[in-house]
Structure 1
Amino acid sequence: MSAGPDVTGSLGSADVDPERSPGEHGVGGPAGEAHVEELRAETADAVHRHVVVAVDGPAGSGKSSVSRASAASLGFDYQDTGAAYRAFALHTLDGGVDLEDAEAIIAALPTFHYAIGIDPARASSVTVGGRDVTDEIRTPRVTTAVSHVAKVPEVRRFMVDLFRRIIASTDKPGIVTEGRDITTVVAPDAQVRILLTASEAARMARRSAEVTGQSAEETARQLSTRDRLDSKVVDFMTAAPGVSTVDSTQLDFDQTVQAVVELVRASTPIS
C-alpha cells in the first residue's frame, strides 16, 4: 500500500500509517486550519488519477452492501463513511460527552484516532485508538447517538476532510465511497455519482431481514426516525443535478449491484 503525503484537513490530520494492515487508512486528532487547499487539490487530482464513485441514499436502501459488492466487482477500494461517524459517536459516548453540548462534542475531536480497512474483499475492521470497535459501532446505543454528532458542523468538516484524504490515497484503479453528503459535498467532482433509493416498504422489508428479534413495527419506527433525523442534516432523497438515480425497489441484491457496475462502466473508461 502506498502511504502518500501527510495532509492536514480543516480539523484533522489524516494520514496513512505504514504500520497498519494493507488497505487500512486512519486519521489523527485535529491539527488546525493549515493545508486545507492542499487536501482539496489532492482530492481533485485523485479524480483524474482514479475512478471515484460516490453513492448516497436513505437508510435501508442497501447502499453499504451494494457499494462494497460493486467495488469488489470493479476491482476498486471501498469506503464506508458512515463507520467514521459511528466510531466518533462511540468515542464521545465512551468519553461521557453530553450529546446535547456541541462544544463538548467538538472538544472530543483531538483524541479521536480512527482507522478503517478499505479493501472490499476483506471485512472493514474499524479501530479507535487502536481498539477494534467493528461490532460495537453497530449497536443500538451508537445508532441513537450518530445523528447527534453528525449534525455538528465542525464534526462534518472534520469528516469531509478525512473522507477526501482516503479517496486521494487509494492505490486501486478506483474507489467506491458511500454515505451522506458524498455526491454533493465530499466528492462533487466524482466521475460517477449515484443516489441509491427504494420505496419505504422495500427498505423496511430489507432492514427487517437484517435485524433479528425485532418487530416490523419497531423496524418501521427506527427507519422513520433515522430518515427524520438525517433529513435535518442533508437532503438524501432527491438526486442533485448530475447524479444518477438507481431505484432498487423492484431489484434483488445482485440486480442492484449489476445496475451500479454497468453504470460505472458506461460512464468511465474502465473495461
Structure 2
Amino acid sequence: MSIPVLTIDGPSGAGKGTVSRAVAKKLGWHYLDSGSIYRSLAISALDQQLDLNDAVAVALCAEQMHLAFECKHELVVTLDGIDITSRLPGEDTGAAASQVAAYPEVRAVLLQKQKDFRQLPGLVADGRDMGTVVFVDAPAKVFLTASAPERGKRRYKQLKEKGIDANLDKITQEIQLRDRRDSERKTSPLIPAEDAFYLDSSSLTIDEVIEQVMTLAVT
C-alpha cells in the first residue's frame, strides 16, 4: 500500500507553512517542512563559520547535523539539541539557505532525510521541490505562489510581529533575488510539477487557500 503524500511547493512567503500545517492537522497526517531543514543547515554552517561557497564542506555539515522536529502550535526545530526555531525566519538564514540549497552535493545528502518523513497515515510535504524531486509519485500536488510585493509585505509583517527589525524594500528585493536564484539553479529548480495544481494566493485569505487545498487532498 502506497502512503499518501500531498506536496505543497512554492516560493518563500506564499503561505506554504501556514497552509501545510493546517491541512496536515485537519487530515491527521505527518508534516514535513523541508525549508526548515535547509535553514537549519544554513544556521549550522554559519555558526561553524564555514565558507558557504565550499559545497563539499557544507555537504559534510549536512551529514553530521542532528535535527528534531516537533509540530506543536507551530513547528519547533532543534539542531544538535538546541532550539533554533526563533532563528529560522531570519533573512540572513534564508539567504544562506537558498545559497547552500543550490548545491547538488547538499541536496543529495538531505534527500533521504526528507523521504523518511513519509509514514502512515500520510504526509503533507512543504517545500520547493517536493512534487518535482522528492515525492514525484505524490497523488496530490500544489504549487502555491503570490506576487513578490505581496510576499514581501507578509514576511515584513511576520518579522515585525516576532519583534525582529525589518526593512520592507530590502525584504522584497531579497525575495526577488531568491526567486531568480531558485528558479534558475541547475539542481531542483523552483518550478511547478507538470501535474501540480497552480494556486496564486495574492488575493486570497489563508482560510480560502486551505479550503481549496483540502478539496484537492480529499478528492
Calculate the TM-score normalised by the size of structure 2: 0.89
- By how many angstroms is 1:206 displaced? 2.2
- CA distance 1:201–1:148, change in 2 (3 Å): closer
- By how many angstroms is 1:88 displaced? 0.9
Q: Which residue of 2 aligns with 1:225?
A: 177
Secondary structure class of the residue paired with 1:227: helix
- CA distance 1:116–1:261, change in 2 (3 Å): same
CA RMSD of aligned residues (A): 1.8
Q: Provide structure 1 residue ranges, at least 5 long, that are not aligned to the other structure.
A: 1-44, 267-271
Q: Which residue of 2 aligns with 1:185?
A: 133
Q: How does 1:29-178 map to 2 (within 5 A)?
A: 48=2, 50-117=3-70, 119=71, 121-167=72-118, 170-171=119-120, 173-178=121-126
Secondary structure class of the residue paired with 1:263: helix
**What percent of counterpart residues are identical?**
34
Q: How many residues align?
A: 213
Measured in 1, the distance between the counterparts of 2:63 and 2:192 equals 34
Measured in 2, the distance between the counterparts of 1:216 and 1:140 equals 12
- CA distance 1:110–1:250, change in 2 (3 Å): closer
Q: Deviations over 1:74-133 (max 9, x none)?
A: 22121111111111111111112111112222232342111112x4x5432211211111
Alignment-mate amino acid for residue 127 of structure 1: T
Measured in 1, the distance between the counterparts of 2:78 and 2:201 equals 32
Alignment-mate amino acid for residue 78 of structure 1: Y
**Structure ID, larger Rg:** 1
Q: Provide structure 2 residue ranges, at least 5 long, that are not aligned to the other structure.
A: none
Measured in 2, the distance between the counterparts of 1:98 and 1:199 equals 32
| Structure ranking higher on relative contact order (CA contacts 8 Å, 6+ apart) | 2
- CA distance 1:52–1:73, change in 2 (3 Å): same
Q: Which residue of 2 aligns with 1:256?
A: 209
Measured in 2, the distance between the counterparts of 1:217 and 1:122 equals 30
Secondary structure class of the residue paired with 2:75: coil
- By how many angstroms is 1:254 displaced? 0.5
